[in-house]
Copies of this chain bind each other. A is one copy, B any other.
Amino acid sequence: MAVDLEIVCVGNELLIGKIKDTNAHYLAKQATRLGANVKRVTVIQDTLEEIASTIYEAIARKPQFIVTTGGLGPTFDDKTLQGIAKALNLKLEVNPKALAMVKQKCVEYAKKRHLPTEIELTPPRVKMATLPEKTEPINNPIGTAPGVRVDVQGTVLFALPGVPVEMEAIFNETIVPLVKHAVGSSVFCERSIFADNIMESRLAPLIDKVMSDNEGVYVKSHPKRTENKPHVELHLTIIACQEQMPAEKLVKVAKQLAVLIKANGGLVTVELEE
């Protein structure tokens, strides 16, 4: 059974083109390679209404996992947890475990800089430890704001920080093992062949044939712009149980496609077998 995963990136900076988001690509690529089916990425503004409605709608689609990035920091526009609370009709409360994590990070920081380690729990620091009730803080091995795990209606939602190194650290420590467990023996495989001297519109029926002959294999054509010469990458992918030998299946399908392309006047370059 497919393990669906959705990604929600929160932050005005992503929508005004200030920051080129790299988190969604990282998460999508890693999750796919773990065998998950990444269904959707949604990038939204830092408003309570946008966050709440997006989370509400994502949960209604019943993916096994939702990963949000951004909006966990100390400033007023870090509203992801408020948005989650609103979407799920949960109260916000200071989480003692999260507060201890934030305090510990501030102490470590002060020590490193030889500053006094009597940490004042200012409102912005307490804010980072204010979580929706019934949720779990996750240790942030790099930054101050903890991640948060929310279990709701069969979906596990993880709220991660927007700073890429922090997001990646929590993803790898906490989420990867869970996704691996959920996908079981499913794996993702991919393989490309390159077609020259044949237009995409002539490749279309050949791709259709190969896909209808080989259930589960997805073939996507990527025309590459070159000087008036058609050059098309054909990217073959499959998510299937290891026992079904998906890598071997892709080799076979790639060969079938190559034969068809050559029979239609195209030239084919096949990736070397790994």
List chain B residues, Cβ under 8 A from A42.
40-43
B41 touches A122 (CB 8 A): no
List chain B residues, Cβ under 8 A from A57. Answer: 57
Partner of A76, one of B17, B41, B211: B211
Within 8 A of B (CB), among A150-184: 163, 165
Q: Which residues of B contact A21 (CB under 8 A)?
A: 25
The smallest beta-carbon distance between A20 and chain B, in angstroms, is 5
When chains A and B are docked, how far (Å) is the Cα of A77 from the Cα of B237? Answer: 14
Minimum CB–CB distance from A198 to chain B (whole Å) comes to 12
Contact B32 A165 (CB under 8 A): no
Closest Cβ of chain B: how far from A240's Cβ, in Å? Answer: 14
Judge whether A207 is part of the interface by a CB distance below 8 angstroms: yes
A163:B218 contact, CB within 8 angstroms: no
Does A144 lie at the interface of the complex (its beta carbon under 8 Å from any beta carbon of B)?
Answer: yes
Write out the residue numbers on chain B whose beta carbons fall within 8 Å of the beta carbon of A28: 14-17
A252 CB–B CB distance under 8 Å: no
**For the complex, what is the distance from the CA of A197 to the CA of B123, rounded to whole Å?**
19
Assembled-state Cα–Cα distance A33/B15 (Å): 11
B40 close to A44 (CB less than 8 A) = yes
Given contacts A165-B225, A235-B18, contact A201 B13 (CB under 8 A): no
25 of the cross-chain contacts (CB-CB < 8 Å) are A12-B237, A13-B235, A15-B32, A15-B39, A15-B41, A16-B29, A16-B32, A16-B38, A16-B188, A16-B190, A16-B237, A17-B28, A18-B220, A41-B42, A42-B42, A75-B207, A76-B208, A76-B211, A109-B199, A109-B228, A113-B228, A122-B202, A123-B204, A124-B205, A127-B204
A interface residues, Cβ below 8 angstroms from B: 11-21, 24-26, 28-30, 32-33, 38-45, 50, 57, 73-77, 109, 112-113, 122-125, 127-128, 144, 163, 165, 188, 190, 199-205, 207-208, 211, 218, 220-223, 225, 228-229, 235, 237
Nearest 9 interchain pairs by C-beta: A17-B29, A124-B201, A124-B204, A41-B43, A74-B201, A16-B32, A15-B38, A75-B204, A17-B28
